[in-house]
Structure 1
Amino acid sequence: MKLLRVGPAGGERPCVLAPDGRVLDLSSITPDIDGGFLAGGGVERVRSALSEGGLPEAGPYERVGAPVARPGKVVCIGLNYSDHAEETGAAVPAEPVVFMKASNTIVGPDDEVLVPRGSVKTDYEVELAVIIGRTARYLSSPEEAAEVIAGYAVANDVSEREFQIERGGQWDKGKSCETFNPLGPWLVTADEIGDPQALALRLWVNGEPRQNGDTKNQIFGVHHVVWYLSQFMVLEPGDVINTGTPAGVAMGMGPEAYLREGDVVELEIDGLGRQRQRMGQA
C-alpha cells in the first residue's frame, strides 16, 4: 500500500494510492499520516476502507508533501556502502556510523531545495528511508526489527560537505540546513516491498547519471540498522531512518559536481517512486 499526503505545505491531506492509480482521500479516517496514525492501527483501517470501497477521490492538487508528518527525529547512517566509503577516502566502518538531521529538514519530494548561504559544496545522496511504525527499544535481534518497520520511502540526504567536514565538530551542521531532506512521494508499506535488500537506487543531476546502486550492497542491512539503533535510543512511530548512499556523490567527483542554483536533481528507488528537485538559493 502506498500512502501519501497532498496539498500546500502545512495543509496536506492524507491519501492512499489505489490499485487502479486513483488518489483517494483519507480525511474521514485520520487527520494526518503521522506517528499516532502508524502506531494506532491506521494502516489496517485504510486496508479495510479500501476493501470496502467508498473512499472519495482527492481531487486536483498541485503538490505532494512528505508522506509522514512531523517525525520526532531523523536518524542517519553514514558510509553504509563500501563503494561510497572508498570514494570519500574513509575506512569501511566496523559499526554503523550514526548522525542526526533536524526533523524540520523534511520537505516534499518535488519541493525546491535551497543551497545554503555561503555554500560551495552542496551535495546529493539518494537513500532508502525507513519509517518506524512501533516503539522500539533494545530489540533482541535484527529479525525482531522487521516487526517495527511501517514502510519505506525515497530520501535525498542533501549535505553541505564544507559545513559537515571542514568546519569542525559534528556532521549535523552540514546535514540540517533547511530543505535538506526531501522525502517521498509515498510511504510504501513493508509488506509491499518484501526484501529491503533488493532495491536499486539511481540519481541524476541535470539529466546526467550520477548514482546507480543497490541496497544489497549495504554494509549494514536495514534490519541490522534498526536493531542497532534501538540499543542506543528509543525509536518511535513516525521516526525516519536514512540508511546510507551508494557511490557517485559530488564529493567523490570534484568541485564542478557540486550543486548550484538552477540544477535539477532526480532520484528514484525501485517500487518507491521518484523525486525531482530544482535547486534554489537560501
Structure 2
Amino acid sequence: MATAVALRTDFSVADLRRLAAASKNANQSRRQLSLAAAGDGMNRTEAARIGGMERQTLRDWVHRFNTHGPDGLMDIPSPGPSSRLTTAQLVELAEIVGVPPLSVNGPRNLPTLGRAKFPTLAGVVISRWGDRSLRSWAAERLALRRERAAPLVADLEIWMRAERARLSRHSDVAKAMDYMLKRWIAFTRFLDDGQICLTNNATERALRGIALGRKSWLFAGSDRGCERAALMYTLIQAARLNEVDPQAWLADVLARINDQAIRDLAALLPWNYTPAPTSLAA
C-alpha cells in the first residue's frame, strides 16, 4: 500500500475543524473534516468515510489541500463544451436577446417574452450564420468520416463477410450479419453525405404515432391502400420537419390542387409550401 501523504503543517487539526464549521459549502466542509480526522491519526480509510469518499479520493484531496490550501477543497466546475459561435457572433446574439418585443412590459409576461423572442432570434441566427455554418459543419463531418470512419467500415465489411461464410445460416449471429450486409449501401450512405445523422432516432421517434395508432388502422384493405397510407405518413412527417402544420397544409393543398398546373405541383410540397392568401386570412 502507498505511504500516506503528509498534510501541510501551517493548518492545525483545530484549524481544519473550525474552517469546516464555518464553511457554507457542504463538500468543502466534509473534506476538511476528513483531513482533520487523518491529521488526528485516524486510519485513512476511516477518515475518508467521514467525507463519504474512498481512500484514494482522500489522497487526491490531500494533494489539492497541500498545494492550494482550504480553497483547493472546493469543487472546480467543468468549463463545459466550447462555443460553436465566434466572439463576434456571441456579441451579436447577446444584442438580439437583449431587445424585448414591444408587447412585453412586465415579469408576468415572461412566457410571452420567450415565445415572442424565439422565432425572431432563430430566424436571425439561421439567416446570418446558420446555413453557412451547417454547410461547413457537414463538410467537416464528411471529411472526418472519410478519413477516420471509412477505413474502419471497409475493414468491418471484409471481416463480416469472412466470418459470415463460416456460420450456419440458421445462426442468430448469421441472421444479424445478413440483415446488415443486405443493407450495406444504406448503412454506408453517411460516408457520402455529412448531413446524414449517424443514428436513426429521429425517424424512430416520428414512427411512434403510427405505432400508437396502428390498432386503429390494422387493415388497409388492399396493397394500394397500404401504399397510399405510407405516402401520407411521409408527406405529413415532411410537413412537420419543415415546421408546417400538417392539418392546415393538407386542407389547403386539397382545396388548391385541382386548380394547380401540373408543372407547379412541386410548389405544394411541404418544403416549398406557401399558404394561399385565403388560408392566411382564415
TM-score (ref. length: structure 1): 0.19
Rg comparison, structure with higher value: 2
More strand by share: 1
More helix by share: 2
